[in-house]
Structure 1
Amino acid sequence: MALILRFVDKDGFIRERFFGLVHVKDTTYSTLRDGIFKVLSHHELVIQNIRGQGYDSASNMRGEWNGLQALICKECPYAYYIHYFVHRLQLALVTTSSEVSIVHQFFNNLTSIINTNTSSSKRNDELKDTQAIDVARKLANNEIESRRGLNQIGTLKQARDTHWGYSISNLIKMFDATYKVLENLSTEGNYHQRGDADFALNSLMSFDFILHLMKDIMEITEVLSQALQQKSQDILSAMDLVSSTKKLIAKMREVRWEDLLKKVKLFCEEHKIDIPDLNARYVGRRG
């Protein structure tokens, strides 16, 4: 369990410091409370002086009757509980994005592709070996640069709510290796593995898999995302960043769309992904 201490110093300034790591045998509220109190007592900090506590929304932390925050409030009545701010921002982003069905479907498919490729150490090793062969081939054909630090062999990042950008970038870099591992699994695995691999492969090789679009959006929103996670928040600067980010996304829609489409078409041609006839008549689905 990680402890962060937020306090007012003798000059009246608010400070926030990493306080320490505590080993806990389980995550029950009583064990967590004892761990926190033990650390504070060790540093001769008076428990009754706690004036606030912040956790995520897990039931064992925020439970109104039996959660950690309720247990501490019984001994420290002024230790008001607040759902910690950065996590609330992340949840707002996740919830808002999930309201867009295409985005929600994209991340479901992304998770399926990554999990199918990384669910065992054997597949991880196969992915790295395939990537090494692919990098060596591209270097021999002068398709990629060979500067120091480039082309390092890595693995796919799990598509967690706070690591979307990394997951997308890694998949683009390792697209060929990912495809080959899925293709092998779809023919050589057991019937469960073949089914999962087929589904992931169909998602990966679909023109509707908006990989590059999401990568460009993540690059635009990265500065705002990092700013919102700073220890000290300047609300006016944050509002300016929100405004400028919205303008950049609008500019992407109005000006950069054709460039994005060209990039996607080149990527599809390189990886033999079928490109639909974009001049064909659009037929809306019922509802």
Structure 2
Amino acid sequence: MQGLAFRGNDELENSLNQGNFLELLKVLASCNEEINNVMLKNAPNNLKLTSPHIQTDIINSATTEITKAIITYLRDDLFSILVDECRDVSIKEQMGVVIWYVNGFGCVIERFISLVHIQNTSATSLKKGIESLLSTYGLNISSLRGQGYDGATNMRGEFNGLKSLILKDNSSAYYIYCFTHQLQLTLFVAKKHSSISSFFNTVTHLVNVIGGSLFEEIAKCEIKTEQGLNQEMALKRSGDTRWSSHYGTVVNLMHLFPSVIDVLEYIGENGILQMRAQDIVNTMNLVRVSKCHLQVIRENGWDSLLPEVLEFCDKYEIVVLDIEDVYVARGRSRHKSKQLANIHHYRVKLFYSVIDMQF
């Protein structure tokens, strides 16, 4: 119900967090002695029923029962579909399908049905996926009264788009251009206006500069907001393709405006930013300090490093070359090597060279 993953990254017995499924089983066992006697370590033989396959079966069973309840509630009423396609992390094309319908009380109900893997995003492939899904749940395409997609050619094309292919089978399945996608286009076009573009750029810079400082003050309770609103009032960067994220950023900025002014005044008076990495002057000072430290190491570091190396080798019984002996490179015989001592090779060719690379 909360959209939490069952399995954890590490489900071994010595793991500090075995994932939601196993951790909840532990809680259940701790609350009921009768259940604890037959669960996890106390399970008879290997009948723990906690393997990844079992967890997947439980998820699939829950999915089936929930979807069955949705379809049963819908009965044979008319409905609409919302469809959008994208790639998952494994680069597989998939299509998300949501149904809309009006319940007995006259309220519009929206229910997510399934993610359908498709071969490609052509209109024909999408239509086959939708027909297969509706058939699986006993829904008839003749009951379809609305289609909501984005404005891509494969979705809204007048002749070969998905909406046209479905309209050929059901002329009552009216197409509606997804309003959310329209807002995204509106935002994209609006940003071409110099004043609006300047406004959002200013907001972005403001969030970059002040976001961390303001969040830290809220966390310390130095900035008081209404009870229960701290999580919603953080200044977050807006996304490039989501109108709602821009709206949320502006709304939160309005709510926190007095605090934003306080933080800006503090920054102005003290000449600092909330992160040193964002202060270019301080960064350059750090670079100069680092160069000075490297120079000191280059001039005096070898004398302190060599005794540490010899001590380490002695502790772990590692054979140490005679540093005054002639250095012999791998694959070369001694008489063919240049007459350089080991100490010269390790100090000049390695130690100094690495520090020079840092410079």
Q: TM-score with structure 2 length normalisation?
A: 0.36
Q: TM-score with structure 1 length normalisation?
A: 0.43
Q: Which has the higher contact order (CA 8 A, sep 6+)?
A: 1
Q: Which structure has more helix as a fraction of its residues? A: 1
